[in-house]
Amino acid sequence: MTTPTGKPLGIEETAIPGFLRIDVTVHGDTRGWFKENWQREKMVALGLPDFHPVQNNISFNDEAGVTRGIHAEPWDKFVSVATGRVFGAWVDLREGPSFGTVYTAEIDPSVAVFVPRGVGNAYQTLEPGTAYTYLVNDHWSPDSVYTALSLDDATAAIPWPIPLDQAIISDKDRANPPLDAVVPFPAPESTGRRVLVTGANGQLGRELMRRLPEAGFTATGVDLPDVDIADAEQMNSFHWSAYDIIVNAAAWTDVDGAETPEGRRLAWRANATGPANLARIGAQRGLTIVHISSEYVFDGTAGPHLEDEAPSPLGVYGQSKAGGDAAVTACPTHYLVRTSWVVGDGRNFIRTMASLADRGVRPSVVDDQVGRLTFTADLAGGIIHLLSTGAAYGTYNLSGEGPAVSWADVASRVYELLGHDPAEVAPVSTEEYFSGQDGIAPRPLDSRLDLTKIESTGFRPADSMARLDSYVTGPAGSDPA
């Protein structure tokens, strides 16, 4: 075999969308040859997708005429030859206008191809002792489902160099269906918008599961006990190829419970270990991660808090959230969304105050902790905005807009909206409220978040007190859209 040498590295588009031919530089002399078979930095710069391979396979064939395919796998492949020559045939089996498009080429060590998921591929060896290698961006599984096409399909009309009646073909490949019987691989447009929502049963999780499909995303929700993001083994074996985006709305939010010996362990497990697992997966697989943070990572002395403020948590809950934040930033494609005083469909401060008002209770409520409520309609809307617009990755503050208020102000407004005298709410200091109680976590007194950065992307949350009015007076305390 003679292998061309000195050819410059280059990438060529083909008639199959996303399918690329790569010319690989081969350096040869009397001793043999050498090539950089996979060089991420150079190839990505030339236009190869940064597809994050996780497995490398080699197919060795003793004889010429060994013919494999046509299979369309649910992962991307980078295929090249180590020794020998193969004839390659590729047929687009994806749903859409390019369905049935064919591309063929001979591959030797100086040629490689990038095969997007859903494109059928077949290879026929042209020399004995041929070996070709392929990088894939998902681990092979016996449960994987392939879309297949007959090697001798009349519509594809592939010009096999070695006639199929003289080729070496498995019985399984001989039984593949013709093109008119193939169920197309799902359209590529569905990729890039497949979202896994962790903590899907929480206030934010439920709102995301409602809003994401309305925005054109495919959303899958998971939560404990079925899926535990802090379980590294479970995360390693999870079917990540089905997703492009992870929105991590899972968290341990019992602020006082986190101060107990058991709660401390659980808080760190959920708020730090879990996000660290997701960040590792995201970095390995090129997934976008949206992680929900909290103003509790600050001590509340420097509000309104900016995105680049150094963490200064007062208690275990805030410390565990700060640990998770640090881990998530290790994933290059992340949105760290910091929020405060979240209200949605579920147990929350407003519903507690409404219940007290209905029972005629005159509560004492702290008036020296200030901030803004964040309704899940705004929080979910802001997350979807970041994803939909392709905003720059990084940290974004996201709360309701409007004036800063105290918890006592919020409680008084709830009482007023329900027809009670707001004076029934007695304002007290945080120190007075928790006097004599043990195991109470320290709270940041100033929870205000500066919203300049996210508003510069074109998203402006609603006034939080206007949201409050709608929430209290709307049907069953629903989160206003």
Catalytic residue among 103, 123, 132, 134: 134
* Domains 10-181 and 192-477 alike in fold: no
CB 93 within 8 A of CB 147: yes
Residue positions counted in the chain:
481
Map out the domains of the chain as residue ranges. Answer: 10-181, 192-477
- Per-residue pLDDT of the chain (481 residues), as tens digits, is 455 566 899 999 999 999 999 999 999 888 888 999 999 999 999 999 988 898 999 999 999 999 999 999 989 999 999 999 999 999 999 999 999 999 999 999 999 999 999 999 999 999 999 999 999 988 877 767 789 999 999 999 999 999 999 999 999 999 999 999 999 987 755 567 899 999 999 999 999 999 999 999 999 999 999 999 999 999 998 988 889 999 999 999 999 999 999 999 999 999 999 999 999 999 988 899 999 999 999 999 987 999 999 999 999 999 999 999 999 999 999 999 999 999 998 889 999 999 999 999 999 999 999 999 999 999 999 999 999 999 999 999 999 999 999 999 999 999 999 999 999 999 999 999 999 898 899 999 999 999 999 999 999 999 999 999 999 988 654 555 5
Domain 192-477 maps to which CATH number in 3.40.50.10780, 3.90.550.10, 3.40.50.720, 3.30.70.100?
A: 3.40.50.720
Q: Is 132 a catalytic residue?
A: no
CA distance 466 to 451: 18
| 70's tokens | 């046509």
- Whose tokens are 């049907």? That residue is 475
Catalytic residue among 52, 71, 139, 393: 71
CA dist 82 to 5, 123, 457, Å? 14, 14, 48
Q: Is 134 a catalytic residue?
A: yes
What's the CATH number for 10-181? 2.60.120.10
CA distance 107 to 26: 13
The phi, psi pair for 4, rounded to 5°, reads: -60, 140
pLDDT at 174: 95
CB 345 within 8 A of CB 479: yes
- Write the pLDDT tens digit of every residue in 386-396: 999 999 999 99
| Beta-bridge mates of residue 406 | 370
CA distance 330 to 156: 46
Q: Which amino acid is at 212?
A: L
| 308's tokens | 């680049």
* Nearest Cα residue to 134 out of 235, 260, 244, 38: 38
